[in-house]
Amino acid sequence: MSPPCSLWRHRDFRHLWAAETVSQAGTQVTLVALPLLAVTRLDATPMQMGVLTALETLAFLVVGLPAGAWVDRWRRKRVLVAGDLVRAVTIGSLPAAAALDVLALGQLYVVALVAGTATVFFDVGYQSYLPALVDRTQIVDGNSKLEASRAVAEVAGPGLTGVLIRVLGAPVLIAVDAVSFLLSALLIGRIATPDVVPDRAARRPLRTEIAEGLSFVVRHPLLRRMVACTGLANLAGTFTGALLVLYAIRELGLSESVVGLVFSAGAVGGLVGAVTAARIARVVGEGRVIPLAALASATAGVAVPLASLGAPVPLLLGGWFLDSLAVIVYNVTQVSFRQRLCPPGLLGRMNASVRFIVFGTMPVGGLLGGVVGTWLGLVPALWIAVGCAFLAAVPVLFSPLLRMRDLPDEENGGRVPAADPVAPGAGG
């Protein structure tokens, strides 16, 4: 039997990879362009920005757990095409409404909710579609390529969006974003491999499958600490994110172009983190780098409210750079740990459970940002968000992680190794 062809020459995989890359880039554009449109065109209040942020991420909380099981019961190709078309139509309605001078916050709310839900299904769908397209021996290689595209989009997307908004303006950029989803749908539609619906007889109750994934996450002593840290950090991040554009433009008096530079600084910091994460983990120790990165991220967040006292541009640029670098180092290390720790047959459900917990806090954080920002004002609210970020680091700071160089994996049964008694900087 001849070996399978390289994925570089695999036509159907190339279409899926290109579509996923375009779709992930479009998602990042939407996450940045929508709040800028709300602030600059619709004069949104802190509460309205909080609601918008919450609606963008609400689908993770509402359908995050069952989405994986549902996608496994449907034709994956149809799920992906439908997700792209839904986002193209809903997002494309925004520049059309702006051109007709009928754009309203209510429309932004609907677009945020619908597009966010379609994104959840698309993300689950493309990860589930891969095994149907490539040989079993190529799944790891295929996942690596798909995840690389997603990671690059998450790191570089906000910064690139900030730069393009300066040139094109938010409405035009959102129109380009809508076209990107149409391109993604077209690429997926050209995949020739037959799309097969899984056997209904092999299905188990949805509740049973969900419970197995959740049980694995909450029972491991290190994994549950990391999930708690990530969930609280995401709450603090969306708390800040709901107010950041409003704060930068109205409180600090910065222009849209300077806001774009801030996002660009974050992109550069994230790219540095992606390139150096493995080396940092080797030097510092993959166990202790997790609490140290969480602490570094919280410390960098101080720069945001501190910018109200003076030197706003240097503080925001430096803080966003350091925060993005620390977050990427943290994420690369803890995701790699999860992948090594979990048995292959449980990996999908474990990841779905983690995503539900850590992303489910985001709509709550967005709403809290809007409520507290309206009640106390933008600067006090941002200081409260900083406090939440430091609180997020507590589960991993006060844990065995700070004294550990190596993390457990499936081969040793996930047992927590002995702490390193001579770890530099270890505490508690």
DSSP state of 302: T
Q: Given pLDDT bands bounded at 50, 70 and 90, which one contains residue 214?
A: confident
Q: Given pLDDT bands bounded at 50, 70 and 90, which one contains residue 147?
A: low
Q: What are phi and psi of 108, to 5 degrees?
A: -60, -40
Distance from C-alpha of 398 to C-alpha of 420, rounded to nearest angstrom: 15
| Superfamily name with CATH number, domain 7-189 | MFS general substrate transporter like domains (1.20.1250.20)
> Which of 229, 334, 319, 307 shows the shortest CA–CA distance to 269?
319
Range scoring the smallest mean pLDDT among 73-87, 202-216, 297-311, 357-371: 202-216
pLDDT of residue 195: 72
Contacts (Cβ under 8 Å, ≥6 apart) of 155: 267, 270, 271, 273, 274, 324, 328
In the chain the first and final C-alpha atoms are separated, in Å, by 58
Q: Given pLDDT bands bounded at 50, 70 and 90, which one contains residue 28?
A: confident
Q: Given pLDDT bands bounded at 50, 70 and 90, which one contains residue 232?
A: very high
Average predicted confidence (pLDDT) for the chain: 83
Range scoring the smallest mean pLDDT among 110-124, 146-160, 218-232, 326-340: 146-160
Tell me the two tokens of residue 120.
């959840």
Highest mean pLDDT among 21-30, 139-148, 160-169, 171-180: 171-180
Three-class SS state of 357: helix
> Which of 126, 101, 97, 121 shows the shortest CA–CA distance to 109?
97
Residue 217 clears pLDDT 90, i.e. is over it: no
Helices 139-168, 170-189: axis angle to 10 degrees equals: 150
Helix locations, 134-220, DSSP H: 139-168, 170-189, 206-219
Contact 344, 351 (CB under 8 A): no
Q: Given pLDDT bands bounded at 50, 70 and 90, which one contains residue 171?
A: confident
Distance from C-alpha of 213 to C-alpha of 353, rounded to nearest angstrom: 6
Distance from C-alpha of 278 to C-alpha of 269, rounded to nearest angstrom: 15
Contact 335, 270 (CB under 8 A): no
For 218-418, CATH gives: 1.20.1250.20
Give CATH 1.20.1250.20 domain extents, the chain: 7-189, 218-418
pLDDT of residue 56: 86
Contact 154, 25 (CB under 8 A): no
Residue of higher predicted confidence among 21 and 412: 21
pLDDT of residue 424: 31
Contact 390, 396 (CB under 8 A): no
Contact 112, 56 (CB under 8 A): yes
Whole-structure pTM value: 0.77
Task: Using CB atoms within 10 Å of the CB of residue 279, give its burial: 0 to 12 exposed, 13 to 18 middle, 19+ buried.
Answer: exposed
